Amino acid sequence: MGSVVAYRCGACTYATQQMQIGWGKAGRARYWGGLALCPACKEIEVVNLSESRGDRRETKCTRCNGPIRLIEGMADAIACPKCGKALQQSALGSWS
- Higher pLDDT: 39 or 54? It is 39
Average confidence (pLDDT) over 81-93: 95
**In terms of residue numbers, what domain contains 77?**
2-95
pLDDT above 90 for 58: no
- Confidence grade of residue 56 (pLDDT, cut at 50, 70, 90): low
Question: What is the number of domains present in the chain?
Answer: 1
pLDDT above 70 for 78: yes
- Confidence grade of residue 25 (pLDDT, cut at 50, 70, 90): confident
Average confidence (pLDDT) over 24-49: 90
Cα→Cα distances 81→3, 51, 52, 75, 92, Å: 21, 25, 27, 14, 21
Report the alpha-carbon distance of residue 96 to residue 52 in Å, rounded. Answer: 21
Q: Judge residue 33's burial from the number of C-beta atoms within 10 Å of its C-beta, 0-12 exposed, 13-18 middle, 19 or more buried.
A: buried
CB 78 within 8 A of CB 71: yes
